[in-house]
Amino acid sequence: MTHATHAPCTTLPSWPHAYPASGARATLKALNEDFIVTELPLQLPCGTGEHLWLDVEKNGANTAFVAQQLAAAAGVTERDVGYAGLKDRHAITRQWFSIYLPTGKAGETPDLTTLEHPEFKVLAQSRHVKKLRPGDLQGNRFRIVLRDVKGEREAIEANLKAVAAQGVPNYFGAQRFGFDGGNVEQGRAMLAREIRVRNPKKKGIYLSAVRSFVFNEVLAQRIAQGLWGRTLPGDVMDEAGRPTGPLWGRGRVITTDEAQALENGVAERHATLCSGMEFAGLDQERRALVALPADMTWEWPQADQLVLSFSLPACNYATSVLDEILHTTEPERHAENEPEAEAP
């Protein structure tokens, strides 16, 4: 067994869309203020407790960097800082952070709202009884400005109306898979024991990429077979009554009939990945196949400018919505792999 840390990159498949392509194009994130994300928390701080919660607005910084700066300002380690999800760097985003900061003998709490930094500001702070952990959010509210829109407005409007009414395929976004799908290939090599990954954080990233890849393959297979918007015999439904797909792991496949046959067919094509995930100790879970944007509105301030607003639940990607409407490109400065606003 080799101890190499890199395996060859792979290009991700072009997974099918649910709706006919509009043929339109636009620029995404020309400015940070073109992509505004507001976290929708599960709860608000109660005012007492050992954790100091901070309502933070950042502009041009990623979530991990802000967490580092907050830890330094509070005089604690990074492990004492919590947050519910990663937010985009090239955007204006608002989210909560928590810091484990029991009051000392003097009972004083540092006022971090006075902290000055060019890329973020603390809007408010209050104490709470628990630490923020990944996934501790309802979802995110987005306001997205698309510039230099080119294409037929009638085709764009048709897809906007379809997305608002029927939702979009709940694909995991490309950033989950690393540059050119490299995290999937690293995960495959790791599960096939071609490489050994000692870093627990990297191991988790690769497992997440592989699991997400298999889910996308199941969803893509359903769309390719003309099954978008349909329920198959044997489907497992979520609480909202939507069909779900597998997040692979240990345990029996709980679908039956046609749904199980489709999922098993994908699993057979990716046997190394699926058996490896089971061996790695991941438990089988389910994820909705459809993402439905809530309170979706749009307007055309200019002939070549489209402004969208909508909310998505945790673990849903804004790019899944945009991809069904038109093709977007970002300025070159966004070429690096950045987390998107979602709840991992």
Ordered domains of the chain (ranges, CATH): 1-38+143-344 (3.30.2350.20), 43-135 (3.30.2350.20)
CA–chain centroid gap for 91, Å, is 15
The percentage of residues in the chain with a pLDDT greater than 70, rounded to a whole number, is 92
Is residue 1 pLDDT above 50, yes or no? no
Residue 173, CB-side half-sphere exposure with 13 Å CA sphere = 20
Residue type, 175: Q
Question: Do the Cβ atoms of 88 and 338 come closer than 8 Å?
Answer: yes
Q: Which of 212, 45, 22, 40 is nearest to 136 (CA)?
A: 40
Phi-psi group of 287: left, alpha or beta (phi > 0 → left; psi -120 to 50 → alpha; rest → beta): beta
In the beta sheet, which residues pair with residue 243? 237
Q: Give the tens place of pLDDT for each residue, 131-183.
A: 999 999 999 999 999 999 999 999 999 999 999 999 999 999 888 898 888 99
Q: How confident is the model at residue 107 (pLDDT cuts 50, 70, 90)?
A: low
- DSSP assignment of 278-341: HHTTPBPEEEESEE--EEEEEEEEETTEEEEEEEEETT--HHHHHHTT-EEE--GGG-S----S
Which of the residues 34, 55, 88, 235 is marked catalytic?
Answer: 88
111 counts as catalytic: no
Phi, psi of 330 (to 5 degrees): -115, 155
- The model carries a pTM of 0.88
What value does the mean pLDDT take over residues 179-207?
92
Flag the least confident range among 135-144, 248-257, 298-307.
Answer: 248-257
